[in-house]
Amino acid sequence: MKIALVVTEQNPRQLAEMTTFVDLSELESEACEIWRASGITENILMALETRYREAPQDMLLFASGIQGNELATRLATRLKGEACCGVIKGEFGTPQPQFTRPVYGNALVGTFSARGKPWCVSVARSSRSDVSSVTFPQVVLPVSAQPPAWLVAVKRLEEIPHPALNQARFVVVAGQGVASLQNMERVKELARQIGAETGASRQVVMNAWCEMESLIGMSGALIAPEVCIVAGVSGASAFNVGIRDSHLVIAINNDPDATIFNTADVIVVDEMMPVLEALAECFR
Ligand SMILES: Cc1cc2nc3c(=O)[nH]c(=O)nc-3n(C[C@H](O)[C@H](O)[C@H](O)COP(=O)(O)OP(=O)(O)OC[C@H]3O[C@@H](n4cnc5c(N)ncnc54)[C@H](O)[C@@H]3O)c2cc1C
């Protein structure tokens, strides 16, 4: 099978996400090629179409996010293929491959069957960032620098990076159980004392107890620390996707039936603030 991994920016995140898809789908031994194309999405689309006509592929992979989804969908339409967005992995044992992707705000996983080629697939986000082992051949596509005549203005929105959280070995994540801005400030201080980064659930960010950059979950950072301490978080699926790659999850919650306990490795049924204070004291 011929597969093109379309990379549109320098950020290694894109290649890391697509390589995760390749690994999970057991496609490492297929003829994979990296197509680098940067510029305005409209012009990238034209460059991809031209390249595809010269070198047809069975599948084109795109990174997660708005641009990847747009490129996958629009290219599939132009090439009369099929598109699927936010895909975790594919199974290719049958003539009609099956693509697996989260649906309903990550509450369920759906399997979708594809028909006509090429399959244009944008992949799901992943916490992986290391691409040092990727050795696929690369082609740089010529992309026109001139915007199309109908495009009157282009505004580039800055991506909010989560470098510290993404690379942290230890993370303390606070949920709504933290109860106040003052307590959240204390959690940050305690996390700092034990050498951890601080993350937060959406409720905490929405209450303005913590900055947006600290959001963990499907709308925020996907983290993979060695130890993730999750305190006062209920464990909604949209949150859990953000911590699922953690090596060890320690959950603190005063509700013995909290959903987060279903996925945690260590559970502490107690008030979160005294437990975090005691933990920091142990470290001291
Ligand atoms: C499309 C979509 C995207 C979303 N994306 C995200 C996302 O990226 N990240 C995210 O977090 N959410 C996201 N959500 C929201 C998510 O569904 C939950 O609503 C949210 O994660 C709940 O946050 P929480 O667990 O902090 O709050 P709650 O659900 O209110 O849970 C608070 C928990 O704290 C416990 N608690 C209370 N007091 C204490 C105490 N003193 N000590 C210990 N425990 C205590 C309670 O028992 C409870 O379990 C998304 C939702 C949708 C629909």
Sorted by where each starts, the structural domains of the chain and their CATH numbers stand as: 2-140 (3.40.50.620), 163-283 (3.40.50.1220)
3-state secondary structure of 136: coil
| CB-CB contact of 152 with 137 (8 Å) | no
Whole-number pLDDT of residue 166: 81
Judge whether residue 161 has pLDDT over 70: no
Tell me which residues have their CB closer than 6 angstroms to ligand 1. Answer: 105, 175-177, 201-204, 215-220, 232-234, 236, 238-239, 242, 252-255, 258, 271-272
CA of 233 to the centre of ligand 1 (A): 5
Section 165-183 average pLDDT: 95
- Lowest mean pLDDT across 105-109, 120-124, 217-221: 105-109
Average pLDDT, the chain: 93
CA of 92 to the centre of ligand 1 (A): 37
- Residue owning the nearest CA to atom 37 of ligand 1: 177
Q: Which two tokens stand for residue 195?
A: 């050498």
Q: Which two tokens stand for residue 261?
A: 């306990």
pLDDT tens digit string along 79-102?
999 999 999 999 998 888 999 998
- The atom of ligand 1 lying closest to the CA of 234 is 49
CA of 174 to the centre of ligand 1 (A): 9
3-state secondary structure of 6: strand
CA of 100 to the centre of ligand 1 (A): 26
3-state secondary structure of 150: coil
- Residue owning the nearest CA to atom 36 of ligand 1: 177
In whole angstroms, what is the distance from residue 272 CA to residue 251 CA? 9
- The atom of ligand 1 lying closest to the CA of 174 is 26
Whole-number pLDDT of residue 3: 98
CA of 240 to the centre of ligand 1 (A): 10
Whole-number pLDDT of residue 95: 82
Judge whether residue 44 has pLDDT over 90: yes
- The atom of ligand 1 lying closest to the CA of 176 is 26
| Number of neighbouring beta carbons within 10 Å of residue 166 | 18
In whole angstroms, what is the distance from residue 204 CA to residue 110 CA? 30
